[in-house]
Chain A
Amino acid sequence: MSIVILAIDDSRTIREMLREALLNAGFEVHVAVDGVDGLEQLSKVSPQVVITDINMPRLDGFGVIEAIRSGPVFSAVPILVLTTESAPDLKERARNSGATGWIVKPFDDVKLVSAIRRVSSH
């Protein structure tokens, strides 16, 4: 059974890139267009890994992480943050908000997959 991933990003381009990269790696991919959409899909999709962008309309990435971590069912799901910055303080901020890890944009397919493997049991 392949890993189910929910990728949340408001950029269509990034969504398509994620989808393609993740499908190629044999994952099952679902995408959401912003934080609110992401949370709505959460229970339907039951992802094993969530990937989320930070800057998004309606609900940003930190809001997504907070909502997932405080929710009853998916509070332990690994959440990877997609970030354009690789500065240490941003990683610190992501970690403090409850992110499991991060992927620096533009992501490299190999690193993306290895990051997912590193936080999931597959």
Chain B
Amino acid sequence: MTSSSDIRQTFFQECEELLEMLDDGLTEITDTPGDAVDPETVNSVFRAVHSIKGGAAAFGLDALVKFAHQFETALDEMRSGRLSATDAVMKILLRSADHLSALVVVARDNTEINTSVGADLLEKLAQISGSSVAAQSSAVAGGPAEEPDFGFQPLALAFDFGPAAESTFTIVFSATKRLFANGNDPVHLFRALAELGSLSVKVDTDALPRLDDLDCADSYFTWLLILRTSDSEEAIREVFEFVDGACSLEITREEGAEDITTKPSEPQIVDVGRAPEVVDTAATPQPDSAGARQDSPPSPPPSRSRGGAGSDKPTKAAAGFQGTVRVDLELVDRLINIVGELVINQAVLSQCVQDAGLSKSPDVISGLDEFKNLAREIQENVMAIRAQSVKPLFQRMARILREASDISGKVVRFETEGEATEVDKTVIERLVDPLTHIIRNSVDHGLELAEVRRAAGKPETGRVKLSAAHRSGRVLIEVSDDGGGINRPKVRQIAIDKGLIPPESALSDNEIDKLLFLPGFSTAREVTDLSGRGVGMDVVRSSIHNLGGRVNIASVPGQGTTLSISLPLTLAVLDGMVVDVAGQTMVIPITAIIETLRPSAKDIHQVASNGQVVAVRDTFVPIVDLAEVFGHRKRSDDYTSMVLLLVESGQNERWALAVDRIHDQRQVVIKGLEGNYGHVPGVAAATILGDGKIALIIDPEEAALRVRAESVSPSMMRLEEL
């Protein structure tokens, strides 16, 4: 069996696609009422499981094969109309799809499965498959007994080449019309027999009719074959395996009879090994021998095709493949890095041109502009290689949700929106854990139990919606539920009990909601199966932060909670505003900046504590001096000579970051600091500028919080320090 690791990898990639197809199909069947289900949908679902089984068998993944087989049996029942897609059935099928997917992961990663749902599901699948598999189901439930009707073991080949005693077999063989119609040919069989030992063939042409009565598609010969071999009768029977039923066959073992040439009347003995062409004509009573040459040109297809085979073949070999290539992710990453260097290099060149005083030469400038555009285009396209739709992520979340609703006993409908939204693969991968936690939370804490919902006049089935959308260069992912919303008095009380906030602190609704993100905060009275796995919303928040994202939570009591995550599309580059802060060059992500201001003195006001605010139209926005935040100098007294960058946090809070001047606006390549320095508050990453210098990329929200913590009410300190 072929088992090269490349093909194995192909198999698991294909499994992902098949599982996606399976999920899609099952979801569609679930959502389609009654008989309106497209049979092709059921077919494709069946095929998906069938293909996984086929591939899994090739790699000897027994657990996967076994489960897929039972799953497939149930789907086959549905395909043939004996099993209808009731809610109960679909639930089992969906859970089976989840389990199948888990088994694939286990097989791929060579790990152990850590749930016991498999046996239970096998039994349920057997049940819904009906009585025909009742026997199997008991075998399955009973242990690792093999199902009777699918023996994947290759047939034992009689390859015993020891000095076994030879014996002589007499084989009487005659073909039916069907044997030829199915593309079989006695001559191939005889040749295979000849490989087993020494063979003599005699043909009995007695049954051959007059030429007029001859049907040239039929066979009128009976062959008498005498084979002397050390192989068993099974080996001989195996040669005839394919024609069994399309011929008459008698095999007898002759004890003493050695003389094979003395028997029947017409001694037309043909040595198969030496003169195959004679046998060819004898075996296939086709045009020439039948005398029917006048109306059909004798061009046997095989020889003709062999003649024309060579020339156009290589190009055809590629046909049938989709126009994609599979590339090692590492190669793409390397390419992204190189493109990053190219972008930096382009910045270096621009700098050099300027320094050399060439910036007035139109040729140089237009050439440089073109270079800049090309570099940017290459970069965007390279990024696009890594972009993937969030659909597999969403399907995975659907699984998590089903698992969560099963454990919690709540009935939940899962809705998705924007599945086709594309995001960098690395971003998607790192979203799995936070989203898993959020989804579990929505089911466990967000949604109420059915009776509570009924009492509140809501449908008993809860709803959790997951959506993704591109929003001005970022991706916005939202998880919303129609549950009871955040119980603010309770949240507040818990925060006070845990000593997270002083009892007297006055918090806005939004601030109370944000308490959920505090480390160590948990509203669950007791640790349930679902949540309480040692992961809190604080971990969710920090992992989103690490992706350069923001989490926001909004809740309407009695109506539900929405968690929104805003993320960059990629982790490799960002559009930045390059600024000067006390002689240091820093970069601020453009996406964070709402507008830039050059304030006049009358717009700036001193507030009671030691802060200053700037009036922006009808609101006041606190000023945060970046030079002070990073300890370069004391807070400036005169902001009129500086530039204020108005930034907004995920929670719609605004600050005005004060910088000395704006340098430039450009795309920068992000170089992570965390690997070397850990997380530095207020600093998201670093980049290399055109002159080779390193500039810090600022996280505006964190930077603001670094100083704001001192200037706002102490009650909020912990919250602000996040």
Residue numbers of A with Cβ under 8 A of B are 1, 4, 10-17, 20-21, 28-33, 37, 41, 44-48, 55-57, 69, 73-74, 76-79, 84-87, 91-92, 95, 98-102, 104-111, 115, 117-121
Q: Which residue in B54, B152, B305 is a CB contact (below 8 Å) of A11?
A: B54
Which residues from 1 to 59 on chain B have a C-beta closer than 8 Å to any C-beta of chain A? 1-2, 4, 6-7, 10-11, 13-14, 40, 43-44, 46-47, 50-51, 53-55, 57-59
CB contact under 8 A between A106 and B309, given known A86-B150, A98-B182: no
Asked if B334 is at the interface (CB within 8 A of a chain A CB), the reply is no
A100–B305 touching, CB < 8 Å: no
B47–A10 touching, CB < 8 Å: yes
B184–A100 touching, CB < 8 Å: yes
Q: List 13 A-B contacts (CB under 8 A).
A: A14-B54, A20-B2, A28-B313, A55-B46, A55-B51, A56-B47, A57-B47, A69-B181, A76-B180, A95-B245, A106-B1, A119-B184, A121-B276
CB-CB under 8 A from B151, the residues of chain A are: 86
A30–B183 touching, CB < 8 Å: no
CB contact under 8 A between A20 and B306, given known A28-B313, A84-B57, A98-B181: no
* Complex: chain B residue closest to A20, CB-CB: B2
Q: How close is A82's CB to chain B, nearest CB, in angstroms?
A: 8
Contact with A along B702-713 (1 / 0, CB 8 A): 000000000000
Q: Which residue in B51, B152, B187, B308 is a CB contact (below 8 Å) of A106?
A: B152
Asked if B143 is at the interface (CB within 8 A of a chain A CB), the reply is no
Asked if B301 is at the interface (CB within 8 A of a chain A CB), the reply is yes
Residue among A11, A86, A115 with max Cβ neighbours from chain B (10 Å): A11
CB contact under 8 A between A84 and B54, given known A12-B10, A98-B182, A120-B188: yes
B-side interface residues, number (CB < 8 Å):
63
Q: How close is A32's CB to chain B, nearest CB, in angstroms?
A: 5
Whole-angstrom CA separation of A76 from B283 in the bound complex: 14
Asked if B489 is at the interface (CB within 8 A of a chain A CB), the reply is no
B182–A100 touching, CB < 8 Å: yes
CB-CB under 8 A from B150, the residues of chain A are: 84-87
CB-CB under 8 A from B55, the residues of chain A are: 11, 13-14
CB-CB under 8 A from A1, the residues of chain B are: 306, 309-310
Whole-angstrom CA separation of A99 from B246 in the bound complex: 11
A100–B58 touching, CB < 8 Å: no
Which residues from 41 to 94 on chain B have a C-beta closer than 8 Å to any C-beta of chain A? 43-44, 46-47, 50-51, 53-55, 57-60
B154–A44 touching, CB < 8 Å: no
Q: How close is B177's CB to chain A, nearest CB, in angstroms?
A: 12
A17–B185 touching, CB < 8 Å: no
CB contact under 8 A between A78 and B319, given known A119-B188, A120-B188: no
Q: How close is B70's CB to chain A, nearest CB, in angstroms?
A: 14
Whole-angstrom CA separation of A55 from B54 in the bound complex: 11
Whole-angstrom CA separation of A121 from B302 in the bound complex: 9
Asked if B494 is at the interface (CB within 8 A of a chain A CB), the reply is no
CB-CB under 8 A from B155, the residues of chain A are: 111
Whole-angstrom CA separation of A92 from B243 in the bound complex: 10
Q: Which residue in A4, A16, A111, A119 is a CB contact (below 8 Å) of B154?
A: A111
Q: Which residue in B57, B58, B183 is a CB contact (below 8 Å) of A76?
A: B183
CB-CB under 8 A from B280, the residues of chain A are: 121
Q: How close is B141's CB to chain A, nearest CB, in angstroms?
A: 22
* Complex: chain A residue closest to B299, CB-CB: A73
Q: How close is A111's CB to chain B, nearest CB, in angstroms?
A: 6
B14–A106 touching, CB < 8 Å: no
Nearest 7 CB-CB pairs, A to B? Answer: A46-B305, A101-B242, A106-B58, A100-B183, A78-B183, A13-B11, A13-B55
Asked if B266 is at the interface (CB within 8 A of a chain A CB), the reply is no
B2–A33 touching, CB < 8 Å: no
B245–A11 touching, CB < 8 Å: no
B58–A17 touching, CB < 8 Å: yes
CB-CB under 8 A from B691, the residues of chain A are: none
CB contact under 8 A between A29 and B53, given known A17-B58, A79-B183, A100-B182: no
* Complex: chain B residue closest to A88, CB-CB: B244
Whole-angstrom CA separation of A86 from B180 in the bound complex: 23
CB-CB under 8 A from A85, the residues of chain B are: 149-150
Asked if B333 is at the interface (CB within 8 A of a chain A CB), the reply is no
Whole-angstrom CA separation of A91 from B46 in the bound complex: 21
Q: Which residue in A86, A105, A109, A118 is a CB contact (below 8 Å) of B2?
A: A109
A20–B301 touching, CB < 8 Å: no
Whole-angstrom CA separation of A121 from B189 in the bound complex: 10
B1–A108 touching, CB < 8 Å: yes
CB-CB under 8 A from A20, the residues of chain B are: 2, 4, 7
Q: How close is A39's CB to chain B, nearest CB, in angstroms?
A: 12
Q: Which residue in B14, B152, B276, B319 is a CB contact (below 8 Å) of A30?
A: B319
A48–B302 touching, CB < 8 Å: yes
CB-CB under 8 A from B10, the residues of chain A are: 12-13, 16
Whole-angstrom CA separation of A91 from B150 in the bound complex: 13
Q: How close is B281's CB to chain A, nearest CB, in angstroms?
A: 13
Whole-angstrom CA separation of A45 from B192 in the bound complex: 27
Whole-angstrom CA separation of A12 from B54 in the bound complex: 11
B308–A46 touching, CB < 8 Å: yes
B54–A105 touching, CB < 8 Å: yes
A92–B182 touching, CB < 8 Å: no
Contact with A along B254-285 (1 / 0, CB 8 A): 00000000000000000000001000100000
CB-CB under 8 A from B157, the residues of chain A are: 110-111
A29–B301 touching, CB < 8 Å: no
Q: How close is B628's CB to chain A, nearest CB, in angstroms?
A: 60
Asked if B317 is at the interface (CB within 8 A of a chain A CB), the reply is yes
CB-CB under 8 A from B11, the residues of chain A are: 13
* Complex: chain B residue closest to A83, CB-CB: B54
Q: Which residue in A47, A84, A105, A111 is a CB contact (below 8 Å) of B305?
A: A47
CB contact under 8 A between A45 and B7, given known A74-B301, A78-B184: no
CB contact under 8 A between A33 and B183, given known A28-B313, A77-B301, A84-B50: no
